[in-house]
Structure 1
């Protein structure tokens, strides 16, 4: 026990070696946490997933620098990951939760018309839309596009006419 205490230190008065040992342990713990949270955490990039990434980074950094008790901080990180996973599973079962935790896609262009209200809600301009039409829809005019959506992860998707 004394060996572990000496290796990890306590409080904020940590030696460089103690912080390095903490960093290595936190790295592997974070890796395990990310594996537990699932691929969607970094793949989907929704507000729901980004929230976990930001908070987990902030929490785990405290363990490295000794701003919070080491093992309590690690346990808090695991709790956040398990909560994220449980909520993601609950979203599979409940469309209400899915809609409110992850958000929904929003039509920006349909039936030959731009939806000005949704453009404003998405903080996008017509120039932004035209940029996405060119880069994602491989088109130069809106007439070549069937629909455009702002997806729940903030990406704009462009569906060309068939």
Structure 2
């Protein structure tokens, strides 16, 4: 145990530069394990549910590297958050109502070529944002040709063209 404290510092005093390097190395490999255990969702472009974990995990692990937080307690806290994220994702998969609560719902922005202005306003989506999403389709579609446009839980706008 003394050897471990020597390598990573005790956390009661300022850690040395090489102890920070040892901590960074350990945290790097543990973070890879955490991401692999948590799945690809953790740092993908998904919902606020996923993004919040990434931010909090980065904060905890950053403090762990710099010695501003107890090493082992922080690692345990980080693994706990990854486990809770995984558990919520599994629960959301099984029960849509939990998924809706944690991740939100999609919103209809366009229906049969008609902009749903109330939904656009509620979600702070401008007509220019919608036009950009249409252009990104790359097929030269016009608003009148859109069957449905959804503001997805991920923040993306998905578009279905009429037949």
TM-score bucket of the superposed structures, by smaller chain: over 0.9
List, as ranges, runs of 4+ consecutive aligned residues in structure 1 with deviation greater than 3 Å.
none
Distance 2:21 2:64 in 1: 11
Cα RMSD, aligned residues only: 1.3
TM-score by length of 2: 0.94
Q: CA deviation at 1:140?
A: 4.3
Q: Deviation per CA, 1:44-84: give whole Å up to 9, x if none.
A: 52111111111100111111011110000000000000000
Correspondence for 2:3:
3
Q: Deviation per CA, 1:1-53: give whole Å up to 9, x if none.
A: 22211110122501110000000100111111111111122335211111111
- Where does structure 1 lack aligned partners over 5 or more consecutive residues? none
TM-score by length of 1: 0.95
Aligned positions, number? 162
Q: CA deviation at 1:122?
A: 1.6
Correspondence for 2:18:
17
Q: CA deviation at 1:161?
A: 1.8
1:19-38 equivalence runs, <5 A: 19-38=20-39
Structure 1 window deviating more from structure 2 (80-89 vs 134-143): it is 134-143
Structure 1 window deviating more from structure 2 (10-19 vs 63-72): it is 10-19
1:79-118 equivalence runs, <5 A: 79-118=80-119
Correspondence for 1:159:
160
Q: CA deviation at 1:112?
A: 2.2
- Where does structure 2 lack aligned partners over 5 or more consecutive residues? none
Correspondence for 2:148:
147
Secondary structure in 1 matching 2:14: coil
